[in-house]
Amino acid sequence: MAKVMIVEDENIVAMDIKQRLEMLGYEVTATVTTGEEAIELAEKTRPDVILMDIVLKGEIDGIEAAEEIRRRFGIPIIYITAYSDKKTLESAKVTEPFGYIIKPFEDRELQSVIEITLYKDKIEKKLRESEERYRAIIRSLNDVLFTLDANEKYTMVSGQIQDYGLAEEEMIGKTPREVFGTAGEIHHQENQKVLKGESRAYHWKWEKNGKILYFMVSLSPLRDSEGEIIGITGILKDITALKEYELTLKKENRISRALANLAKELLKPISLEKISDNVIEYARKLTESQFCIIEVVNREGLKECIIPEETLKECQLKEKPKMTRLWDWIMENRKPLLSNNPQEDHRLPHIPADHVKIENLLMVPTLLQNELVGIIALANKDGGYDKKDLEIVERLADLYSIAIKRKQDEERNRIIIQKFLKIVSEILEELK
């Protein structure tokens, strides 16, 4: 049984409508005479529909009361009025009523208007529920959904765009080129193809607040009921994590190949100086450093700094520098030193004013059977050093220590062979 509330300031008319409604099988929840009472009782009784007289006594007329009730409680309103002039109906239409009944009216007319209103309200509620479910689904997606009109202007953008520092209301009515600047040019080119009937999918790279983001964009024509293209529907899928993983994997493969090539070079019969030169070259390239030097300890325990000639020229050094304090720190701690602010790092020595500026520094000890045999030192990488750079140099340090050990073993074997041949020679000389 549907519940109806009557808002009518004439008691005789209100009683007549109440009796007629009850005879038609409806439950009358309340009969009130003012707009204020209508709002109060609508909240308390929550009827399925309200019959609202447009002209009421009091400060709030029927139209104002209907607008408040509809806004706050969503209850459908049917106006009952003796006035059918255009001005009155236009004023009432703003509140989006479900129907009008012009006094006097028949029972059949009253029932048909109420039943149609109840049906329309049921359908609207289902539609609102469907829309809310749709919005919930859209909100749960990580993708950004959008539509454009035939002039490439945004007509809808899902809320996920806020994750990228943009607001839907700021985009509506603008083209991708207006929103994204030169980065939106690719969208314009692809949109033109879609407006001619194609479906498109492409990658897009966008820099936002210093961070590079990667997207997969899918576009399809939006058609009307007659099949004419009236716009574009699109999905913006963030593939930044996938792209970063792909780039990381490519970089790792490149590093592994480079280290494999270096290992081959270090297996060749080359001098200790050539070994150091190779390690310096690979360290600079793999970490994208401006400078790289190696300090080694020879067999006599003396320290020697190996610096490429080009580095000496760039640093404007007339002789190889002494790294006593750095060496002592590494000797004591036996661990790497990474500093992206060397000017204020208490572990580092004072850098002379006329020395080439050191923006950042990475130093890794080279250990051979737990004995410190050298330091690989790098400086001035754009953006500073990170854990990945440290990992690369540590792998280089391992290769370097193995190459040094192999070279030392070769040297030791050569000396042993020389001593053996000398002894044999002396024995043979005595036997003569």
- CATH for 323: 3.30.450.40
Q: What is the pLDDT of residue 425?
A: 65
Flag whether 258 is in a domain: no
Q: What is the DSSP string of 387-432?
A: HHHHHHHHHHHHHHHHHHHHHHHHHHHHHHHHHHHHHHHHHHHHT-
Residue span of the structural domain in which 120 resides: 3-137
Q: What is the pLDDT of residue 9?
A: 86
Q: Read off the CATH number of the domain in which 124 is found.
A: 3.40.50.2300
Q: How far apart are the first and last CA of the chain?
A: 135
pTM equals 0.49
pLDDT for residue 320 is more than 60: no
Boundary residue ending a domain (83, 117, 137): 137
With a CB cutoff of 8 Å and minimum separation 6, the contacts of 281 are none
Same domain, 281 and 318: yes
pLDDT at 327: 67
> Residue 157: inside a domain, yes or no?
yes
Model confidence band, residue 412 (pLDDT cutoffs 50, 70, 90): low
pLDDT band at 126 (very low <50, low <70, confident <90, very high): confident
Does residue 256 belong to any structural domain of this protein? no
Q: What angle separates helix 240-266 from helix 272-287, to the nearest 10 degrees?
A: 170
Residue 350 scores a pLDDT above 70: no
Number of domains in the chain: 3
Residues 273 and 378 in one domain: yes
Residues 44 and 101 grouped into a single domain: yes
